[in-house]
Amino acid sequence: MPTLNDLDHEVTHCRRCPRLVAWREEVATVKRAAFRDQTYWARPVPGFGPPDAAISLVGLAPAAHGANRTGRMFTGDPSGDFLYQALHATDLSSSPISRAHDDGLELHGLRMTAPVRCAPPENKPTPAERDNCRPWLATELTLLRPTLRVVVVLGAFGWQALLPVLATAGWRIPRPRPKFGHGMRVDLPGPDETVLHLLGCYHVSPHNTYTGRLTQAMLREVLTEAKTLAGLSCP
Ligand code: SF4
């Protein structure tokens, strides 16, 4: 079994999905006008956060001009701006602003990851691409298992993609499979009889945050519940 550092390094070299490899590299060549002087990361984005995290936050996939540009999850786009405000307010990050991979920001007790590590066109990976990427997340969660107590899942895609990964990593999933919902909580027994708490939360995409479907108060409430369930002190 690799270490988390090994895994983070290995994933950045993955080229298993030809469509996503072509897209992440094309975006980095065409660029968005505001970033035309920057060199895009244009590779798979590894997880971000401490290796002994008690909470994992699972999104969908990197944004073309966000993490695919900066090389760090939820960094450099409106989704990240919204998310880090809430993470900082709940003392899960050292800063409310996440702009670059070398800005010194640290996460406290939380590790971010995603079921798909390359930016997909229109933010829509295919089922085959999701399945290709599954082993990366399964290995990451297996490595986190000794300390992991809570997973916050952002959105229905992440929820559906995560359940089989958790089963592969050793947790027992009820039948029928629980459906995603904001505020949904499911407790999953693990192989060593510890319980993993799964919490659903609407995704932090502008589609949800600009329309008020997901507010800062709603997100902070989920993060505070995650901290309480994980046994971390709340601000
Ligand atoms: Fe590899 Fe995952 Fe990127 Fe596909 S999406 S190329 S499996 S890292």
In tens digits, the chain (235 residues) has pLDDT values of 889 999 999 999 999 999 999 999 999 998 998 889 999 999 999 999 999 999 999 999 999 999 999 999 999 999 999 999 999 999 999 999 999 999 999 999 999 999 999 999 999 999 999 999 999 999 999 999 999 999 999 999 999 999 999 998 889 999 999 999 999 999 999 987 889 999 999 999 999 999 999 999 999 999 999 999 999 976 5
**What pLDDT score was predicted for residue 149?**
97
Ligand 1 pocket at CB < 6 A: 11, 14-17, 20-21, 44, 116-118, 129, 132-133, 136
Tell me which of 8, 41, 73, 129 to substitute to probe ligand 1's pocket, judged by most ligand atoms within 8 Å of the beta carbon. Answer: 129
Tell me the residue type at 40: Y
Our CA dihedral for 130, 134, 137, 139, rounded to 10 degrees, sits at -170
Closest Cα partner for 201 from 187, 217, 180? 180
* CATH number of the CATH domain containing 17: 3.40.470.10
**What pLDDT score was predicted for residue 192?**
79
Distance 139 CA to ligand 1 centre (A): 14
Domain membership flag for residue 235: no
**What pLDDT score was predicted for residue 193?**
80
**What pLDDT score was predicted for residue 234?**
63
Ligand 1 atom showing the smallest separation from residue 132 Cα: 7
- Beta strand 110-113 with 150-154: parallel, antiparallel or unpaired? unpaired
The protein residue whose alpha carbon is closest to atom 3 in ligand 1 is: 118
**What pLDDT score was predicted for residue 145?**
93
How far is CA 205 from each of CA 44, 141, 195, 208, 214, rounded to the nearest angstrom? 20, 24, 29, 6, 9
**What pLDDT score was predicted for residue 170?**
87
How many structural domains compose the chain?
1
Distance 20 CA to ligand 1 centre (A): 7
Do the beta carbons of residue 182 and residue 155 sit within 8 Å?
A: no
Range of the structural domain that residue 10 is part of: 4-230
Domain membership flag for residue 123: yes
**What pLDDT score was predicted for residue 33?**
87
Domain membership flag for residue 47: yes
